[in-house]
A and B are shown apart, each in its own frame.
Chain A
Amino acid sequence: MTLTSTTGAAVASRPGTDRRYVGRRRRAAPSSLQQWWVLSLRLIKPIFRNGEIVSAILSPIVFTIGFYLPLKFVMNFQGVDYAQFLMPIIALQALSFTALSAAMKAAMDRVDGMSDRLKTMPIRAGTPLASRMSANLFRLFVSLCVALVCGHVIGFRFHLGWLNSIGFCLFALLVGFALTMGGDAIGTLSKTPAATTQALTLPQLILGMLSTGFVPITGFPEWIRPFVRNQPISVIATAMRDMASDGVDWPTLWPALAWAFGALSVFAPISIWANGRRG
């Protein structure tokens, strides 16, 4: 007691010190940046320890050889260079796995009571979300790298120089970021992590398969082509493919950008709202 008051007095007597941040009943003076860094590492470090990094690396590999080797012959028959064709969907698939794990992460934080615990502590409101998203961004980066290596192995090449290549990667990261934002929102709002993953697998399956990512539009039955051609995954995959091979033009690019930014502008507010509310 004496110690506190003496130090308090000593500090307070110094000119320019705010009394509110001194003593036993002092207010917390959190450093958001440091909190963000600590909470980010809390999520990034276990990735290397619990085998998540292995599955993050293995799943694009399995996915790549699983589609490329069997379907190469079938697609060459249609005159499609399949490695070049398949690359965008390999990247998108890897990124959507990251979105699943993002949902899982958010749901686990909620179920374990971590989110509630953080809300009771002197932590700035956005910090837990920001740290989760930076961990997700790290996963996205790893996934994208693995996907690019996979693509390179099967024969995918960037034909259009640095600017387009960087555009390809940045656009992929943007889409992935929007997806993880959505995953985080769903994970935060859901009560059971298992149900979360299940709920997300189905749209991923339907949109992924029924897109021009695997098969050119001519391979689909006539009646489903309008849907396949205009759904977001197809639009995005086409734009990314053009960035790598033929050169992308504005009419191809803007719908893809619109979908990506549209998704981000829907998911981000939901995620922020879901993380900010109490109870």
Chain B
Amino acid sequence: MSPRHTASRTLTKPAKNLRADPGATEPASAFAVHDDAVPASLTSQAEREALEFPELTHAWPETSLRALPRQSLLHAHRLLFGWLRDPLTTVQVLLYPGLMLVMFKVVLGNSIGAATGQSAIYGQVAMMALIASMVGSMVGAISLQLEKRSGLLSRFWVLPVHRASSLAGRLIAEAVRIIVTTAVILIVGVLLGFRFQNGFWPAVGMFFIPLLFGLAFATMVTAAAVVGGQTKLIEMISLVTSLLMFFNTGFVPLMAYPQWLQTFVEYQPMSCAVEAMRSFALGTPLGNNLWYTLAWAVGLILLFTYPAIRGFRKAANP
């Protein structure tokens, strides 16, 4: 550690005084400020410690793998608290999906149940869990664009931290958000008549599928947000999202769609995920739906990770 570093630990005098002091010709003496410079009110040990800079305990280089988890978690922590403290985000991420689920159940539950002979709630819970994870990604992408515009991304870029920590932290935060919203959806679903009829582990699977799906979607939206850099792109994605929302098997069963549309509806990512979640809840045979979901998610992640990384770098160095 440099002598300048150690000296800064004991610096308690405000910087303003440093500049005003014409006698400080030698830099070392300017930094090595001691007890005589401390105001009389700050003489107790505790108060002095509160003003000191924390000692560096983990000066890992920015490429080290040891730095990555800790710094990613810091970023995730920052994002999650930011979202939590913004009432708009909280409402959009937690309240809206739950409310939408209640709406769908009340408005369409009876009609769909009467026409198809099966309870609509299982499809609706699965669909809303997926939609909630997608909508949340949009919120994240908008906040990312704001950070880019305000220069915060560039600020992080010049700090001596691991290059991947910003993106990794974002994805960790997304994962936590998805788990929380899925839990909210499932609780609302249980209140509306949804039941885990298949035991504990499939219930865990109910969390796993929105998580995987949501992370894949978040990767895609993040890439769109940093590469495109325009709000139009996000709007386009939200348009596609709302189309996917109407044309999946969680909204109405496959047979209700017109013949020419059924192939698309059956194999689009949301339908596969919805069917896998429905099977997890009801204990019906999974078929290939889990594999299709995995393939979609892994495919999206593989396809959009590189653009997301490149875009992040570009967005941080405007």
Contact = CB atoms under 8 A, between A and B. Distances in A.
B107 A205 contact: no
Interface in A200-236: 202, 205-206, 209-210, 214-215, 219-221, 224
A206 B106 CA distance: 11
A33 to B, nearest CB: 36
A271 B45 CA distance: 61
A54 to B, nearest CB: 9
Interface stretch (A11-19, A69-77, A135-143, A177-185): A69-77
* Chain B binding surface, main DSSP class: helix
B232 A51 contact: yes
Most buried by A among B116, B256, B258, B261: B256
Interface in A47-91: 51, 55, 58, 62, 65-67, 69-75, 77-78
Interface of A: 51, 55, 58, 62, 65-67, 69-75, 77-78, 194-195, 198, 202, 205-206, 209-210, 214-215, 219-221, 224
Given A55-B235, A66-B246, A198-B91, 17 more contacts: A62-B242, A66-B243, A66-B247, A73-B256, A77-B114, A78-B114, A194-B88, A198-B92, A202-B96, A205-B100, A209-B107, A214-B107, A214-B108, A219-B110, A219-B111, A220-B107, A221-B110
Interface of B: 88, 91-92, 96, 99-100, 103-104, 106-112, 114-116, 232, 235, 239, 242-243, 245-247, 251-252, 255-258, 261
28 contacts: A51-B232, A62-B242, A62-B243, A66-B243, A66-B245, A66-B246, A67-B246, A69-B258, A72-B258, A73-B115, A73-B252, A77-B114, A77-B115, A78-B115, A202-B99, A205-B103, A206-B99, A209-B103, A209-B107, A210-B103, A210-B107, A214-B107, A214-B108, A215-B107, A215-B108, A219-B108, A220-B107, A221-B106
